[in-house]
Amino acid sequence: MNNTINVIIAGGKTGGHLFPGIAIAQALESLSQNVKILFVGTNAPFETQTLEKYRYAHKSIFAKPIKGGNIIRKVFSFSIILVSLIQSMIIMKTFKPDFVLGVGGFSSFAVVLAAWFLRIPTAIQEQNAFPGMTNRLLSRFAKIIFTSFKETKGLASNPKATYVGNPVRKTDMTEVEDNPALSNFDPDKFTLLVTGGSQGASSINEAFMDALELMDHTDKFNIIHQTGINDEGIILEKYKHLKINATVKSFFHNMPQLQDMADFVITRAGAGTISELCIKGLPAILVPFPHAADDHQTFNAKALEKQGAAVMIKDDDLTGQILKQTFDGLIGNKERLAGMTKRLKHLAMPDADKKIAAYILNSKNIRG
């Protein structure tokens, strides 16, 4: 009997979808030596380069977001789904998966649907408090739905939904070596991490730099700033102009480790970020991305704010002055910060990756 289990993890493109998939892959490998993993998604550089860094096999399919609108758009969307469905079935026949897990993103739709057609066990993992369109559609076909929030909109009462939390990837030693901040920072200083997610956020970058101009004694902080590829040069120049020594990069692959170094975060409200903050008990100002599908980041941020575990500032309201006032009010109140840390850790579910991995490994004999 062949004890090897072949697993496809479908979806990605952005860190919010890709990193939970990587976390589950890591958990699968930690629980079994007889697992073979293939990621199927897009050919987006971020996705392909990240998976190469983590040494996971990857195949891309032709996939685009599902669009409504007029008949021409609907026909175009249907034709793309048909092409990606055929590509997915070819991959299935070649790789012969025992299980297919969708982690969201439009590229996961055809892969999970193809698995359903071929009667291969499936599951989807929803990271957000408001599910994306792809997972809303796939919830009809998947055998089980792993949710990250207890009150996931539209899924809380679904009998197939299982609340496990959002998987968080592990940092490896190659990432530690890539980190220039480790040898440059004073561990006795308050460390502030600023990030707009894997793609950066100009509004956060601009507001934070404006806030720094209004602050006194910025030398009492260590600052780690992930800018996104488009703003890196501009932000570096601004730090130089302000004569502030900060560690600035377009993207850090070792974000979990940087979060371990940080005392406070200013960030977007993607589900992966929310989960990492909870596990680490890291207080934050959350600025939801206003153009996220179905405004799901606002739902994520409100879920934490409602518990007193974070503070939310809407992107439209974000200015240097408001950011400075909010930040000063929080770091000046150690009791409130300690309370936020306590509430975040209470919300944490650090074993989500292992729970999903265990389900997959126990499912090899499931069919249909």
Q: Kindly report, residue by residue over 225-247, the tens digit of the pLDDT.
A: 999 989 999 999 999 999 998 99
pTM score > 0.85 for this model? Answer: no
Share of the chain above pLDDT 90, in %: 66
Domain tally for the chain? 2
Same domain, 324 and 204: yes
State which of 72-81, 125-134, 357-366 shows the largest mean pLDDT: 125-134
Alpha helices in the chain (DSSP H): 15-31, 45-53, 71-95, 107-117, 133-138, 173-177, 202-214, 232-242, 255-261, 271-280, 296-306, 320-331, 334-347, 352-361
Per the domain annotation, does 195 fall within a domain? yes
pLDDT digits (tens, 9 = 90+) for 125-150: 999 888 888 999 999 999 999 998 88
Per the domain annotation, does 366 fall within a domain? no
Same domain, 102 and 125: yes
| The predicted structure's pLDDT at residue 111 | 97
Cα(first)–Cα(last) distance of the chain, in Å?
Answer: 20
Q: Kindly tell me if the per-residue pLDDT of 200 is higher than 50.
A: yes
Q: Kindly tell me if the per-residue pLDDT of 338 is higher than 60.
A: yes
Same domain, 300 and 343: yes
Same domain, 206 and 96: no
Where residue 181 sits, what CATH number does that domain have? 3.40.50.2000
Per the domain annotation, does 367 fall within a domain? no
Mean pLDDT of 190-195: 95
β-partners of residue 58 are: 39
Structure-token pair, residue 141:
């076909």
In the block, residue with structure tokens 């969307």: 77
Going from the C-alpha of 110 to that of each of 68, 142, 167, the distances in angstroms are 17, 12, 23
Mean pLDDT of 184-210: 88
| The predicted structure's pLDDT at residue 98 | 96
- Domain extent at residue 178: 173-347
Same domain, 155 and 12: yes
pLDDT digits (tens, 9 = 90+) for 213-225: 999 889 899 999 9
The residue ranking higher by pLDDT, 16 or 320, is 320
Per the domain annotation, does 155 fall within a domain? yes
pLDDT digits (tens, 9 = 90+) for 96-113: 999 999 999 889 999 999
- Grouping H, G, I as helix, E, B as strand and the rest as coil, residue 197 is coil
Per the domain annotation, does 275 fall within a domain? yes
Per the domain annotation, does 140 fall within a domain? yes
Per the domain annotation, does 237 fall within a domain? yes
| The predicted structure's pLDDT at residue 198 | 64
pLDDT digits (tens, 9 = 90+) for 254-312: 888 899 999 999 999 988 889 889 999 999 999 999 988 788 899 999 989 999 999 99
Per the domain annotation, does 304 fall within a domain? yes
Instruction: Please give the Cα distance from 267 to 57 (Å, whole number).
Output: 30
| The predicted structure's pLDDT at residue 106 | 87
- Grouping H, G, I as helix, E, B as strand and the rest as coil, residue 362 is coil
Instruction: Compute the mean pLDDT over every residue in the chain, rounded to the nearest whole number.
Output: 89
Residue 153 banded pLDDT, cuts 50, 70, 90? confident
| The predicted structure's pLDDT at residue 3 | 81
Does residue 291 contact residue 316 with C-beta atoms inside 8 Å? no
Compute how many other C-beta atoms are within 10 angstroms of the C-beta atom of residue 362: 10
